[in-house]
Amino acid sequence: MKQHRSDTDIINDILQVETSHAAFRELIEKYQTPLYWHVRKIVLNHDDADDILQNTFIKVWSAIPQFRQQSKLYTWLFRIATNEALTFLKQKNKNNTLSIDDLSSEWITKLRADPYFNGDETELAMQKVLLLLPDKQRIVFNMRYYDEIPYEEMSEILETSVGALKASYHHAVKKIENYLQQSLNLSLNE
Amino acid sequence: MNSQSNMNQNSIHKKNPFTVPEGYFETFSDKVMRQINETPVSPKEIKRNLFLRHPFAIAASIVGFLLISYTVVHFLIYKPAEKYKQLAQQADIEEIILPLVDENEIAEAFDYTANASLDGDDIENYLLNKNIHEKAISNYINK
Report pLDDT digits (tens) over A75-85: 999 999 999 99
- In this complex, is the C-beta atom of A65 within 8 Å of any C-beta atom belonging to chain B? yes
Helix orientation angle between A7-14 and A73-93, rounded to the nearest 10 degrees = 70
- In this complex, is the C-beta atom of B42 within 8 Å of any C-beta atom belonging to chain A? yes
The minimal CB distance from A188 to the residues B10, B17, B25 is found for B10
Cα angle vertex A77, ends A13, A133, to 5°?
A: 170
Same domain, residue pair A78 and A153: no
Same domain, residue pair A54 and A106: no
Contact call for B7 and A62, based on CB within 8 A: no
What average pLDDT does the segment A38-56 reach? 96
The minimal CB distance from B15 to the residues A117, A123, A176 is found for A123
pLDDT over threshold 90, residue B20: yes
Contact call for B28 and A64, based on CB within 8 A: no
Same domain, residue pair A167 and A189: yes
Report pLDDT digits (tens) over A106-142: 888 888 889 999 988 888 888 888 999 999 999 999 9
pTM, 2 dp:
0.64
Same domain, residue pair A149 and A59: no
Cα angle vertex A76, ends A74, A78, to 5°?
A: 70
Same domain, residue pair A60 and A101: no
- In this complex, is the C-beta atom of B120 within 8 Å of any C-beta atom belonging to chain A? no
Q: Is B4:A173 a contact under the CB 8 Å cutoff?
A: yes
Taking Cα atoms as reference points, which of B31, B17, B10, B13 lies closest to residue A44? Answer: B17
More confidently predicted of A107 and A165: A165
Q: Is B18:A40 a contact under the CB 8 Å cutoff?
A: yes
Q: Is B7:A145 a contact under the CB 8 Å cutoff?
A: yes
Same domain, residue pair A105 and A147: yes
At residue B2, the pLDDT reads 43
Contact call for B10 and A20, based on CB within 8 A: no
Contacts of B65 (CB under 8 A, 6+ apart): none
What average pLDDT does the segment B7-13 reach? 50
pLDDT over threshold 90, residue B39: no
End residue of a domain, out of A74, A95, A116: A95
- In this complex, is the C-beta atom of A53 within 8 Å of any C-beta atom belonging to chain B? yes
- In this complex, is the C-beta atom of A167 within 8 Å of any C-beta atom belonging to chain B? no
- In this complex, is the C-beta atom of A170 within 8 Å of any C-beta atom belonging to chain B? yes
pLDDT over threshold 70, residue B13: no
How distant is the Cα of A93 from the closest Cα of chain B, in angstroms? 22
Residue type, A78: F
Q: Is A87:A79 a contact under the CB 8 Å cutoff?
A: no
Mapping DSSP to helix (H, G, I), strand (E, B) and coil, where does residue A117 land?
strand
Alpha-carbon gap, residue A115 to B24, rounded angstroms: 14
Same domain, residue pair A154 and A113: yes
Bridge partners of A48? none
End residue of a domain, out of A59, A78, A95: A95
Same domain, residue pair A1 and A91: yes
Same domain, residue pair A130 and A181: yes
Q: How many domains does chain A have?
A: 2
A180 — pLDDT class (breaks 50, 70, 90)? confident
Taking Cα atoms as reference points, which of A64, A37, A71 lies closest to residue A149? Answer: A37
Please name the helix (run of DSSP H) or strand (run of DSSP E) that holds residue A142, with its range, or none. none
**How many beta-carbon pairs under 8 angstroms link A with B?**
99
- In this complex, is the C-beta atom of B21 within 8 Å of any C-beta atom belonging to chain A? yes
End residue of a domain, out of A75, A95, A115: A95
At residue A152, the pLDDT reads 95
Same domain, residue pair A81 and A131: no
Range of the domain at A129: 97-190
Residues in A closer than 8 angstroms to B10, CB to CB, are: 188
Residue A105's CATH number: 1.10.10.10
Estimate to the nearest angstrom the gap between the alpha carbon of A185 and the chain centroid: 29
How distant is the Cα of B84 from the closest Cα of chain A, in angstroms? 49
Average pLDDT along chain A: 90
Residue A18's CATH number: 1.10.1740.10
How many of the other CB atoms lie within 10 Å of CB of B17?
17
How distant is the Cα of B13 from the closest Cα of chain A, in angstroms? 6
Same domain, residue pair A65 and A76: yes
Same domain, residue pair A20 and A56: yes
- CA–CA distances in Å: residue A59 to residues A38, A62, B14: 17, 5, 31
Query: Residue by residue, what is the 3-state secondary structure of chain B?
Result: CCHHHHHHHCHHHHCCCECCCCCHHHHHHHHHHHHHHHCCCCHHHHHHCHHHHCHHHHHHHHHHHHHHHHHHHHHHHHHHHHHHHHHHHHCCHHHHHCCCCCHHHHHHHHHHHHCCCCCHHHHHHHHHHCCCCHHHHHHHHHC
